[in-house]
Chain A
Amino acid sequence: MIPKNVMSEPSWYESSARARIEGLLDSGSFEEILPPQSRVMSPHLALFDLPPAFDDGMIVGRGQIDGCPVAVAAQEGQFMGGTFAEVSGAKLVGLLRGVAHSAGTRQGVGAVLLLLDTGGVRLQEANAGEMAVSETIRAIIDVRRAGVPVIALIGGRAGAFGGGGLVTACCSHVVISEQGRISVSGPEVIETNKGVEEFDSRDRALVWRVTGGRSRVLLGGADSYVKGDVGSFRKAAAQARNSTPSFSLETLEREQERLTERLKLYGSCHDTPEIWRIAGLPEPEGIADMTEDDFMSLLAKEGLHHDAR
């Protein structure tokens, strides 16, 4: 009577960053670094008469999935749009550097999970935020070079925009749900700069057709597609940990090749159904409205099977 896929588990999209971590890790295994009670908060927001958050919207720490140690960072997309800022950035960079430093030792972890949920850089702390993004990218590269995969989990309200889009692209593996979005320039930014004819940010179907989870995974901008419940993210994170390509020159060259090919094939398209038509997908206009199960079987049949990243 009640469709199971509707009345299911807690939804990733709806959950707070803390609830996501709770659902992702083995129960009780999370050890937070700089937790709320340590009150390491933004020193800048008060200047703008804005209330701070005890964790500056970035929760970092270590825990376990199926008994294996992992490091976790989760952005709270509802606080200041999940933005990269001085404190939140430093917490993330510090976590990543710690992972790189301890790789291969007894304190080492098997993977880093980045629960990104962000509109990009926090405007009130823009310089610090921009620096945080580049330091994060640098730190991710170091972690990957140290042999630890970095897995992005995207399915929150804010998506992964601006610097969040760049950070996502640097990860070893990207897991996304239907609601998830990845892009650098957000819809409003494109509309403001290029006009509504170029991109109507209020046309939400268009926004998701271009930046949303289904399009990203079909194009290879994400590697795993999951239903939007917390349990599915947990399962995908646990699997991805063991199946990321090695971070080598060869991998990067293959990625470059794949992207060049993609640009050649689809570079002149204006909307994703045009791409799906060229790619020979059945019912190019109907991809967005398929049921989750139908989409996942389409993906299994037609999706990109690349080993680059």
Chain B
Amino acid sequence: MEKFTIQAQAKEPLGGERSEAVTGVVASGNLEILFERNKDSLVVTVEVMTASHGYKPVWDAVIRDFVERVSPGGMHISIHDNGARPDTVLLRLMQGARLMEAQS
């Protein structure tokens, strides 16, 4: 298991009222993402726990793109990864952000 935390600064806070949301499942080639809200509304924190070792640079790139596309300011994101490919990671992150943006 490899663990690391990636932090980024978003331009805008993520809207919506949900206090937390989960997407995905820890199945082979898949991952589970828990979104919660940070105190600071522009910081994005991503805690990754992954079964595939040695891909931190790819995670950095995926999360950089996600932050650029969605501006998920104020999100504390926790990930349990079971060998998901980058496109799946990005898709789940987008799905999670969409859930958080929902009203109530």
Q: Do A and B come into direct contact in the complex, CB within 8 Å?
A: yes
- A36 lies within 8 A of B22 (CB): yes
Segment from A50-58, A101-109, A283-291, A298-306 that makes contact with B: A50-58
- A53 lies within 8 A of B80 (CB): yes
Interface residues of B in 30-80 (CB under 8 A from A): 30, 32, 34, 36, 49-51, 78, 80
Interface residues of A in 37-61 (CB under 8 A from B): 37, 46, 49-54, 57
Query: How far, in whole Å, are A59 and B36 apart by their CA atoms in the complex?
Result: 18
Q: Identify the A interface with B (CB < 8 A).
A: 16, 18, 35-37, 46, 49-54, 57, 76, 78-80
Query: How far, in whole Å, are A35 and B51 apart by their CA atoms in the complex?
Result: 23
Cβ of B77 to closest chain A Cβ, rounded Å: 12
Query: How far, in whole Å, are A76 and B50 apart by their CA atoms in the complex?
Result: 19
Known contacts A51-B26, A78-B30; 4 additional CB pairs below 8 A are: A37-B34, A46-B1, A52-B80, A53-B32
Our pick among A16, A51, A57 for the contact of B50 (Cβ within 8 Å) is A51
B27, CB-defined interface residue at 8 Å: yes
Q: B9 to chain A: which residues have CB within 8 Å?
A: none
Interface size for B (C-beta < 8 A) is 17
Query: How far, in whole Å, are A79 and B27 apart by their CA atoms in the complex?
Result: 5
- A79 lies within 8 A of B22 (CB): no
Our pick among B20, B25, B78, B80 for the contact of A76 (Cβ within 8 Å) is B25
Cβ of B36 to closest chain A Cβ, rounded Å: 6
Q: A51-B50, A51-B51 are in contact. Are A79 and B20 (CB under 8 A)?
A: no
6 closest A-B pairs (Cβ-Cβ)?
Answer: A78-B27, A51-B80, A53-B26, A78-B25, A79-B26, A36-B22
Cβ of A55 to closest chain B Cβ, rounded Å: 8
Q: A16 to chain B: which residues have CB within 8 Å?
A: 25
Q: A37-B34, A53-B32 are in contact. Are A18 and B22 (CB under 8 A)?
A: yes
Q: A78-B30, A79-B27 are in contact. Are A50 and B51 (CB under 8 A)?
A: yes
- B36 lies within 8 A of A37 (CB): yes
Residue of A nearest to B51 (CB): A51
Residue of B nearest to A53 (CB): B26
Our pick among B20, B25, B30, B82 for the contact of A37 (Cβ within 8 Å) is B20
- B34 lies within 8 A of A49 (CB): no
Query: How far, in whole Å, are A266 and B34 apart by their CA atoms in the complex?
Result: 50
Cβ of B35 to closest chain A Cβ, rounded Å: 10
